[in-house]
Each structure stands twice: as C-alpha cells, then as structure tokens.
Amino acid sequence: MLVSLSDVTFGYAAEPVFEGLTFQVNPRERIGVVGPNGHGKTTLLRLLAGTLPAESGERSLRRGVSIGYLRQSQELPDDVSVHDLLLATFPEVLAVKRRLDEVHERMAGGDDPAGALREFGELQHRFEELDGYALEARADALASEVGFTADDLQRPAGSLSGGERTRFELARVLLRAPDLLLLDEPTNHLDLVQTERLERRLSDYPNAFLLVSHDRAFLRATCETIVEVERKGARRYSGGYDRYHEQREARLKRALAEYVRQHERIERTEDFIRRNIAGQKTKQAQARRKMLEKIERMERPHDVWEAARHLGMTFAEAEHPGGKEMIRARDVTVGFAGKPPLIRDFDWTLHRGERVGLVGPNGAGKTSLLRALLGRAKPREGYVELGYRASVGYLDQKLRVGFSEGRSLIEEVRAVRPDLTIGEARDALGRYRFLGEDAHKTVAGLSGGERCRLALLKVSLEPRNLLVLDEPTNHLDIPAQEVLERALNAFSGSLIVVSHDREFLDNVVRAILWIEDGRIRIFEGNWTRVRRKVRGDAEGVPGPVPKPAEEERSRPSPGEKERESGGALKPGGARREEARRRRRERTRAQNRLARLEGEIAELEERSRELNRLLVEDPNDDWEKVHRLANEEQTVRARLDRRYAEWERLTELLEEGEGAGLP
C-alpha cells in the first residue's frame, strides 16, 4: 500500500461527495479514474494527495512515499525561468548549477582566475555527484516532449499561458519520478503527438500512477485498472478500459436481476400477507411480515453513465444541402504579421457531405486556418470562397464567440431563437442537461463543460448544412462525447472538426487534413487508418513487427540483381522474370494469409474466453484477475498485429488481381 483512505466522508456545502469511502493505491498500479463531470474525480485525487482534509475517516501514507500531483490549474512565479523552475524540484542541484554559472562569469572576467578555477572544479565535481548533468538532460527531454523549445525554457515561468502551465507542471511531476503520480486531466492542452509521447512514457514508468481523463484512447493505452466514481463512492475494475465496460455492464445486469427477483419476492409476500392476515393463515401471515421487516431492501441499480447520457443532442439541418463545393481554398497562406507563415500554399475543396478532421501540433495554425476558411480572418495570401447556399454553424475553441457573459442561459437561447417561448427555451436547455434553476444561471458562472454544452446547444438550434467545430470535446465527459458522436453521425451535412481526441476522430470523420511543418497533406480515412499511413502502424506495438508489404516489394529480383551487376537479359526476359517474381510473392502472401486467418481465429477464441473469465466474480482472487488481464492485453496486442498484417497482405493480393496476376 502506498496511500489509502479509510471510511472517508467529504462534501461541499452540505452536499456529500463521498460517504464511507475506502480506497487504496498499491505499488506499480496503473489506475484510470472515470465518471461524469461533478461526481468527485478531482476530489478523490486531492484526498489522496492530502491537499484536501476529509471531514471524517482517515488517510494513511506509507513511510517515505513520495507523491507527485498534477493539478488542473496553478500559479507560477515571474522571477524564475522555466528551465530553473523545472530543476527547482531538486534544490541542491539548482543551487550548485547557479553557483557554477556565477563562477564561470568570474572566470570569463578574469577575476581571481586561480581561485575561480579551483572553486569551479569543486562545484563541477559536486554537480556530477548529484547527477546534475543527467538531470538537466532529462529535464530538457521532458520539456521538449510536452512542447517547449530551447527558447521557451529561458522565458519567465510567470509568462506561460494556461495551457503552457499545465504542460510545464506535467514535465515537472514526471521529472521527480515519485512513487505515486496523481494526474488530473494530463492530456489537456497536449496535441496528438505529445499525447502519444506521454502514453509511451507512462507505459515505461516504473512506479504507480492514478490519473483522471476523459480521453478514451489514452485510458485504453495506459491504464490496467479503472476506478469509476459513483454514488458517493468508488468502484474498482481490473483489466483495462475495454474490460471495464464489459465488467460494469455484466455487474449492472446481475444487480438489476437480483433487484427484480427481490422486488417480485417482496410483492408476492406482501400479497400473501394482505390476503391472509385476518384469515385462517393469520400466524403464517404474521411470520412473513416479521421476516419481511428483517429483509434489507436493495436499491434499484443506478448507472451514473446512463444518467449523464440524458442529452437530447441533435443538429438542425438546413432545407437546402448547399452546392457541390462547400468551401474552395486557393493558394491560401495563413499566419500572423511579422512572423513566418503557419501554413503555406494550401489548395483544397470541401465537397458536400464530406466529414474532415483537421489535426496537427499545437501552434501549427489549425484555428487560424479555420477562421480563414470561414471568412472570419483574411488569409495573408490566396483566397477562400464559401459555396452556394453554404450555411455554417461554428463552435469556437475558446467558447467565447457569441456569448454575452451577463445573460442568463434562457436569454442566450432566445438570442439565437427569439421565436422560442420561455418554456420552449427551458425544454431546449433541459435536453442539454441544464435542469431546473440552471436555466437562470449567467454565462459567466458556467464551468468549462457547461459552456461547451451551451455552445453546442446554440449551434444546434439554427438549421445548418456545414458544421465547423474547433475542439468540441474539450471539457466534455465521456457520456457527452458519445452523445455528440451520435448526433454528428446523424447529421447529413458537411463537417470540419479540429480535435486531439483520437477516438472521436475515428468515430466521426472520413478524411484527415494533416498539418506538419507549414504544409497540409490530405488523407482518406479516419485517424487510426491515416496514422498508420503516415507513421507506420507498428510504432509503439510490443513484440516482433511484420515487415511492410512495400519493403517486401522493394527487394530486387534475381533478374534485377543480374541487371545491377552488369549482366544482360534476353529479349522479353525482364518481363518474364518480373512476372515470376510477382507470382512467387503472391504465393507467399496467399500462404501467409491462410496461416494468419488460423492464428486470428485462435486468438479471438482465447480473447473471448479471457473476457468471460474476467467478467465473472473474482472472489477476491485479484492475483488471478491481474494474470488474466495481463494475458488478455498480450492476446489483444498480438491480434492487432495479426489484423494489421492481414490488411497489408489483402491489399497486396488485391493489387495483384488488378494487375491480372493469377
């Protein structure tokens, strides 16, 4: 045990968040905390970190255990550089480094060269003893991973923006490498590349971590245990994010069946008592009444996700679908005056009905490009035209466009649709989980998740044939993300979306605009498919990596070797040799494909068996559960590799058929 909570109760303004909570984190555990917004995920982290005292109960910390806690917001000093504040976690290292810099300046100025040289040597020796050079290298590497350049490291820490501060704090807690990491929304403000780097770092992290996240792909990649915050408590599930879904559904199904059986038994007993309390079977009825009084009545199982999914999210569609071309961009260059362009020479046409994801690093110009495409900002070069009868619904990333901070939510809705009565405006707000007195809140008092839901509601109220959404899943919990995905998939118009949420991109887009180094490449497919094309689908997958079909095709045939060595082929020999080579290659691919299908069938069968075992009641045999969960992860990774190889071989054989090979 690293840290534990025993019978803890805590609440805000007499509203309990946890009652009788008992929870602990053990060495090397990898835990993801999930639950709808407002159910106590951050509170759980603060209780574990000791920054929030419990009203009752006890927090225990094993002697000598170090905890690193990434908060959602923090303040930084103005008089310290980013680099030095990173190293400030190790005060002696920072003090020696600063003294080294001072002595180095003395040496450069010629002041007491002999004494300065002697002191410099002593300080350098101490710096090496403290492993200062390795620590500096680690600090620089971590800063780079979360998006800081060498110039950024010299900036005053207080000058960092909100997103930069979150990324800085993430680098700082990782640099400490504590026994337990507590990370609250660590992927906030990270781009896709940075998120994948964090996944790899956490996969290699030698100690325990517990993180709160709404990023389903991130939870799936990093966590072996999922804790769901629910009904003033927390429930633990082993086996990763996908197994968590299966186990919780099985648990809820069992609990509902038990509740129904008990409810039916109670109803039958009460009916017997009513019919016989005054008859010949009075004693039996009285005995049953006493028995009924002793029964501990079950509550109907409560699904916190189901309650959070009660969002009536739909997007009104314009009567006219718009022209065949919804947006035309020609030779577009975007960026800020006096600085190098962010994006150069962009030519693109969005056709009616297309669903496009815009991805790229932070600061690459995604939002600037969106604003140029919509005519909200003028490009530095080139031109953009909206197509015939294009009607745009736009969601601003910062959730400020179109809001009046002093207005109530009802007033915000009626500002978009003045034809709605107050009752109809209330109904619209209710569909987006603004209930009762929420309708009279002012915009200024909304949380990030509430602002996002209100912005989506306002976009949905007016009929559109083109939706342009900049980071729509920011601040949304997982149920709201899933509802948004269904609403967008039901929308038949065109869609452009900026997102760092890989699962969201997989579920809603069919093409990707990939920004990199000022240029945009266009790919067909969702995020996962495009990711494979751009960077290789084997990156980050453990175990042996099958060679790509392209690499196999690049091997020279015997005839090509002969030609390279200076030999000559007979007339027609080159064509025959190439045909023989391709037939051999096709035969090898067919044989391997047949073997692959057998391997996939066996792995799928084993995966189903492991899933069945994991859903069963563990009877407190957690060692067995961990063993089964680890095997299931291994089987799933092997299946993913087999599927990837199967896809490549299938494409290779299809190419051969297109070329007329037997």
**For range 627-636, the mean pLDDT:** 75
- 43-54 tens-digit pLDDT: 999 999 999 999
CA dihedral 18, 24, 30, 33 (to 10 degrees): 0
- Predicted confidence at residue 608, as pLDDT, reads 67
- The CB density around residue 120, as the number of other CB atoms within 10 Å, is 17
- The CB density around residue 202, as the number of other CB atoms within 10 Å, is 19
Dist. CA 235–CA 156, nearest whole Å: 43
pTM over 0.75, yes/no: no
**For range 382-392, the mean pLDDT:** 93
pLDDT(503) > 90: yes
Highest mean pLDDT: which range of 76-80, 365-369, 538-542: 365-369
Dist. CA 127–CA 87, nearest whole Å: 13
pLDDT(640) > 80: no
Work out whether the CA dihedral 410, 413, 418, 420 comes out positive or negative: negative
Which one has a higher pLDDT value, 637 or 544?
Answer: 637
- Running DSSP on this structure, what letter comes out for residue 437? G
- Predicted confidence at residue 556, as pLDDT, reads 42
In this structure, what are the phi and psi dihedrals at residue 42, rounded to the nearest 5 degrees? -65, -35
Which one has a higher pLDDT value, 99 or 456?
Answer: 456
- Confirm if 379 and 334 have CB atoms less than 8 A apart: yes
| 61-87 as b/e: b if 16+ CB within 10 A | beeebebbbbbeeeebeeebebbbbbb
- Predicted confidence at residue 79, as pLDDT, reads 83
DSSP 3-state of 45: helix
pLDDT band at 655 (very low <50, low <70, confident <90, very high): low
- Running DSSP on this structure, what letter comes out for residue 148? -
- 102-159 tens-digit pLDDT: 887 777 766 666 777 788 888 888 888 888 888 888 888 898 888 888 889 999 988 8
Dist. CA 260–CA 58, nearest whole Å: 36
Contacts of residue 28, defined as CB under 8 A and 6 or more positions apart, other chains included, come to 206, 207, 208
- Predicted confidence at residue 567, as pLDDT, reads 44
- Predicted confidence at residue 620, as pLDDT, reads 60
pLDDT band at 617 (very low <50, low <70, confident <90, very high): low
Report in angstroms the alpha-carbon separations of 100 from 97, 129, 133, 504.
5, 14, 12, 50
- 4-46 tens-digit pLDDT: 999 999 988 768 889 999 999 999 999 999 988 888 899 999 9
Plot region of 543 (φ>0 → left; ψ -120 to 50 → alpha; else → beta): left
- Give residue 203's identity as a one-letter amino acid code: S
- Predicted confidence at residue 431, as pLDDT, reads 87
